Each structure stands twice: as structure tokens, then as C-alpha cells.
Amino acid sequence: MTAVRDLLIVGAGAAGLSAAAEARELGLDALVLDEQPEPGGQVYRSAARVAERRPADLAFLGADYARGAELVAAATGVERRQGATVWQIGPAGRDGSREVLWSEAGTARRVLARTILVASGAMERPVPVPGWTLPGVTTVGALQVALKQSGIYPAGRVVIAGSGPLPLLLAEQLRAARVPVAAILDTTPSGRTAKALPLLPAAALAAPDTLRKGLALLKARDRSGVPVWRHVRDVRAETGPDGALAEVRFRTASGDEETIAADLLALHEGVVPNPQLTRLVGAEHRWHEAQRCFHLVTDPWGETSAAGVYVGGDGGGILGARAAEASGRLAVLSAASRLGHLAETARDFRAAPWQSRLRGERALRRLLDVLYPAPDWIAEPADEAIVCRCEEITAGELRKVAGHAAGPNQAKAYLRCGMGPCQGRLCGLTVTEMIAKARGTTPAETGYYRIRAPIKPVTLDEIASLDSEGAA
Amino acid sequence: MMRFDRLSSPGRTRRISFLFEGEPVEAQDGDTVATALLAAGAGATRSTPASGSARGAYCLMGVCFECLVEIDGVPNRQGCMVPVAEGMSVRRQRGAAGVAEDM
């Protein structure tokens, strides 16, 4: 007989850990599965270990990051498995529960759960510029991961190219680590500050501390002595004789071509939900114009159109880590009430402070979305730029078929784009936008790749091991 | 090739030794295979099945699959998702992984 869990939480970042804490407080039988080796997600990656073993690095990474250790501590007492990669969430059975399959240490396992919270977070938006596949080109987030996970930073000539709060934070961290940043290429289009101004009062009222920190980062960047190029376009990474990155070319605001020698290029054009699990369960998604990606359609508690499946944190739409704590908690409150563990009045009472936080973070995000929009060129890569990194399909090849592909799935059949090991994560949004453009329609109309299990590569050995394995 | 430096003294972090392409490499407890290879200046860690072009870690958070390596004889492992361990043997993944012959 397989026991049925009240709640399965996928992901142990800000949303998943907060959800686990709420589940414990409410007495739910919950299980957390997280594919990373340690809890914390990306924002709070490794925070608990860094707090314990690398106190000097914790001081370097700052007070906001230290919050991650508190979140891990608050989730103590809930069964949590790290290195557990969920690759299938099945349809709802007659009792409403779903079967979830995951791999852990080379073995596949299963669990039944009455409710599921997908808290698998965000990923950085694909930035298909020529040369983005070269060794030496990473995301800005990857350098953050390296700092948190291992306390390492690039020691050569770094070029940061992108837009948004994360490149500002990285620039400040590299300055503090005395890394010689060769240039910051700010790709934010011109005129955004003026456009964002009307949204400033509401954001300042809701999140004054965050705004103050952001302004401090901007000031620090502009006073750091690092050359900052604004409104940059047409970034491309060029290779040297060893096949790795050698220089970065770009077009300045006045239209001139510039070249900078570089050992490492870090790209960033914002973050987008990691859509694999919510797509897998067939939940309804909706195109979000301001964030230029698909969001989940949910009720006010985060329940998706797939009954009993909730989404919390940035996997549902980008609102940031503080909001993720709130949306994770709210989803569990609704799940507990649905399961009969919590009266609606108690649910609403506990929910109030989190709903208030969520409102504030939304006001802040409306400002950030206007300040740092995904640039239009993201949907118009140069012909020679690789769109699908795995199968090495270029924008030029995609452009040839985009006009008569009914959608991303047909493009996949034509070209194999999206069929490599990353399963479309790094090309999905680009393919959707390019097809929409070629057909003169919208990304909403164009849709996205159909995502099927297993959402991460699994060996046949692992699948075969399911029969002999007990349930968790 | 790009080098990465450590932020501070190791604190209470243990040193670990593993093999990359048969050569001993120093790492720290808590590193993933991918961050340990960055710290070691390993550069490109795989070549693609499609064209054989060189690739290195791109996202370091499990989504891009660019850091695929062979670990203790098992191909197609995401280096950024695997904690480095004492004595581990890591090799570059060249092109497509073959199917084991004893199957």
C-alpha cells in the first residue's frame, strides 16, 4: 500500500522552503523534492552552508543573501530530499491525487500526493547573440552561482552585457572582489526612466528599502571607474585562435561599432519562469507582454488550471524572492483548507500579511518591468546566431521555416530545435517569438513547445528500477 | 583561458582532490564538478554531438546542459548538479555519448 502525501513541494528555494515551513506549522504531511545538491534555490543558493562554513563569504554576499539560512532553518522538520529530480507529474486519479516520479542517486522513485506545489523557480532568459555558445560566455546568474556555491569569481577581463538589477549586483560584487571589469554594456533601451517615472511613487511606498539598494548599486557602478556603455545593441562574442572567447563587439548608442578584449562575457536580459513542470501538467499559461514570457493562470492562491497543482515563486511569473516567500505560503494555506486541515477563516487570517507583501512586491515589479524590459532584438537574432544550443540550429535556419510553421512544435519537427538534452529551455521563448514575428501574429497565439515526461533525461535503467523501488 | 579565484580563505571547508582527464585537481568541499572545473581553469569541458564545437558551463543552475561531462565512467552528467567528491574521475564529454557495449 502506498501512502498518499498531503502535499508535495517541488523545489527548495524561497517559495518551496517557505511553503514547507507553513506546511509544518499546519501539520500537513509534506515532502520537499529539490534537484540541487543543497537547499536555497538560486537566490539563496548554498546560503545555509555558507553561513556555517564560510562566514567571511557570507559577509561579502550580504544581508539579503543571509536570509536564505533563516528560510532553511524555518523549514526544518519537513522531509526534504536534495538531489531529487522530478521528471513526471501524472494526471489526477479518481481521488484527486497524482503520481510523481523522480530520480535520486541513479534510482527512480515515486510518491502519491493529494496536492502539489510547483516551486521550481525561474531561469535566465535566453540571449541568442552570435557567439553565446562559446566557452567563456556565461549568464550573469552563473557567476552569482559560482560566488555562492564555491566562493569563486572570474580573475580575468570580464565584460558584463545586459539589463536589470542582477548585472548591477554582479558589477558591485566584482568591484568589491577587485576584479578588473573591462566594460559594462548596459543594453537597456533609451527612455525607460521617463516611462517608469509614473510608477515610482507606488513602488517607493511599497518597497522603499529595495529601491534604495537599487539606487546605491547604480551609483556604485557609475563611480567605480569601469567604462559603462549605455543603450548598447548588437552584442556579439568573437572567438580567438584557441576557440574560446577573445573579444566582445557591440554597437553603441550613437551607432558606432566597438570591440573590447575579454576573457569572460556575462549575459543577462532578465529572468523568466522555468516552464517545464507547469507545462507538463497541462496548466494554462498566458503571455505576459511586459515580462515577455508566459505566466501561469492561477486563482488568488496560486492554484493552476490543473486541479490540486499550485505554483509558487517565480515559476508562475517573475516577482522576486520576497514575493516567493509569500506565494509559497499562500499556496499551502489554500491546499490545507482544501484538504480539510484548516478552516477558511483561519486560512484568511494567516494569509493577510502575505497577501499584503505580495501587493507591495507587485508594485515594485511593475516599475522594474518598465525600467528593464526585454529588448526587442531578443526576438530578432542575427542569422548566424545559434537559437537552439543543443542541436545548433541558427536563427537563419529557423527564419526559413518560421513563416510556414504552424507553431513551435512544427518547427521542432522541421529542424530538431528543442530536441536536445535541455528540452527547449534555452530556445523555447526565442522560437515562439520568431515564429510569431514571421507569421505576423502574437506569441500568445503561437504558443510554446509541448512538454512531455521525462522533463529531464532519465536512463532506461532508472525507469526500470521503479518496479523494485518502494514509495517514499 | 579564463581563471577563477577563491574569494577568501577556505574557512571550515575541507580540501578535496579529484581527477580531471586523469590529472589530479584540487577542489573544496561544497563545490560542484562544474564550479571545481571553473576554479581549475579547465576551459571547454565538452564538444557537441552536432558539430563537435567546444562548450563550457553556461548557466550553472541545471537548465542549459552545457556542462555535461563523464563522471566515474557515466556519461551525460550535468557537472553543475553533482557535488565533487574525493577521488572522483571526471572526463570531458566528446560528442555524443556511446552506449555501453556490455548491455
Quick: pLDDT tens for A78-91.
999 999 999 999 99
Q: Which CATH architecture has domain A4-123+272-342?
A: 3-Layer(bba) Sandwich (3.50)
Contact B63 A146 (CB under 8 A): no
Which among A124, A136, A177 has CB closest to B2?
A: A136
What does the pLDDT read at residue A265? Answer: 97
Choosing among 1.10.260.30, 1.10.10.60, 2.70.70.10, 1.10.10.1100, the CATH entry for A380-446 is 1.10.10.1100
Within 58-97 of A, beta carbons closer than 8 Å to B belong to 60, 83, 85
Terminal CA-CA length for chain B: 39
Which among B51, B56, B65 has CB closest to A421?
A: B65
Quick: pLDDT tens for A289-306.
999 999 999 999 999 999
Min Cα distance B90 → chain A (Å) is 17
Question: A1 falls in which pLDDT band (50, 70, 90)?
Answer: very low
What mean pLDDT comes out for the span A357-381?
A: 95
Q: For residue A396, report the phi and psi dihedrals to the nearest 5 degrees.
A: -60, -45
Contact A149 B68 (CB under 8 A): no
Residue B13 has pLDDT above 80, yes or no: no
What does the pLDDT read at residue B69? Answer: 97
Domain-wise residue ranges, chain B: 15-94
Among residues of chain A, what percentage have pLDDT more than 90?
91
Q: How many whole angstroms separate alpha carbon B80 and alpha carbon B84?
A: 10
Residue B10 has pLDDT above 70, yes or no: no
Which one, of A4, A22, A12, A10, lies nearest residue A331 by Cα? A22
Q: Is B35 helix (H, G, I), strand (E, B) or coil?
A: helix
What mean pLDDT comes out for the span A414-433?
A: 96
Strand partners, B32: B83
What mean pLDDT comes out for the span A272-287?
A: 98
Contact B53 A146 (CB under 8 A): no
Which among A57, A60, A426 has CB closest to B64?
A: A426
Domain-wise residue ranges, chain A: 4-123+272-342, 126-269, 380-446
What mean pLDDT comes out for the span A421-434?
A: 97
Are A170 and A140 in contact, with CB atoms under 8 Å apart? yes
Are A426 and A397 in contact, with CB atoms under 8 Å apart? no
Terminal CA-CA length for chain A: 11
What does the pLDDT read at residue A169? Answer: 95
Class of domain A126-269: alpha beta
Kindly list the residues from chain A whose CB atom is less than 8 angstroms away from the CB atom of residue B54. 134-135, 243-244
Least confident of A156-165, A242-251, A321-330, A463-472: A463-472
Q: Which residue of A has its CA nearest to B12?
A: A53
What mean pLDDT comes out for the span A262-287?
A: 97
What does the pLDDT read at residue A178? Answer: 86
Q: How many whole angstroms separate alpha carbon A350 and alpha carbon B43?
A: 50
Quick: pLDDT tens for B55-81.
999 999 999 999 999 999 999 999 999
Least confident of A77-81, A220-224, A369-373: A220-224
Kindly list the residues from chain A whose CB atom is less than 8 angstroms away from the CB atom of residue B5. 152-153, 155
A215 grid coordinates? 539606487
Residue A131 has pLDDT above 90, yes or no: yes
What does the pLDDT read at residue A179? Answer: 87
Q: For residue B15, report the phi and psi dihedrals to the nearest 5 degrees.
A: -85, 145
Q: How many whole angstroms separate alpha carbon A49 and alpha carbon A60?
A: 14
Q: How many whole angstroms separate alpha carbon A17 and alpha carbon A7?
A: 13
Least confident of A177-186, A231-240, A463-472: A463-472
Q: For residue A341, report the phi and psi dihedrals to the nearest 5 degrees.
A: -90, -10
What mean pLDDT comes out for the span A128-144?
A: 97
Q: Which residue of A has its CA nearest to B55?
A: A135
Same CATH fold assignment for domains A4-123+272-342 and A126-269: yes
Q: Give the residue from B1, B3, B4 with the most A CB atoms within 10 Å of its CB, the best one to mutate.
A: B4
Q: How many Cβ pairs closer than 8 A exist between chain A and B?
A: 156
- pTM for the predicted model, two decimal places: 0.96
What does the pLDDT read at residue B103? Answer: 36
User: With the C-alpha atoms ordered A198, A202, A208, A213, is the resulting torsion angle positive or negative?
Assistant: negative
Quick: pLDDT tens for A409-419.
999 999 999 99
Question: B101 falls in which pLDDT band (50, 70, 90)?
Answer: very low
Least confident of A97-106, A309-318, A325-334, B89-98: B89-98
The reply to whether CATH 1.10.443.10 applies to domain B15-94 is no
What does the pLDDT read at residue B100? Answer: 47
Across chain A, mean pLDDT equals: 95
Residue A28 has pLDDT above 80, yes or no: yes
What mean pLDDT comes out for the span A307-332?
A: 98
- Kindly list the distances between the CA atom of residue A271 and the CA atoms of A164, A436, B50, in Å, as whole numbers in the listed order: 9, 21, 28
Within 56-85 of B, beta carbons closer than 8 Å to A belong to 56-66, 68, 76, 80-83
Residue B99 has pLDDT above 60, yes or no: no
